[in-house]
Amino acid sequence: MEKRQLFPDCIFVETTDPAALSEQLEPCRKFLQTSEEGGLLWAVPADAEEFLKKLCGKEHHLCMSQGYIRDGITHVIHGPLVGMERRIRKIDRHKRTANVEMPAGGLGTFLQAGLEITSKS
């Protein structure tokens, strides 16, 4: 098993007051890359936030999923990708990974999740 960060260049912070958080982080600006618009913080869209919470759970850890392919259709039977089969765009059976489409406006177009395909027919 390989463990790595899903978003290696990001730090997620939950807040109810983004302006105060931005003000507190201002002294750190010179050490951080900023967005092309010059902002220090990006708001994660609500649909992307809900998607990530469902996928990674309370532990903020994306576990391995298991499934099979029957008649060209992917079926996930265990793990966080259950019910998200329509979001899977590409499967690498050798590396046991799947490219999963993020909701519109997400942090990136795709994220890579662990998916072991146990059989194919």
Q: What is the pLDDT of residues 7-46, one digit of tens each?
A: 887 788 888 888 888 888 888 777 765 554 555 567 788 8
Of 67, 71, 116, 66, which is closest to residue 94 (Cα–Cα)? 116
Considering only residues 106 and 32, tell me which one the structure prediction assigns the higher pLDDT: 32
**pLDDT tens digits, one per residue of 64-94:** 999 999 999 999 999 999 999 999 999 999 9
The pTM score is 0.78
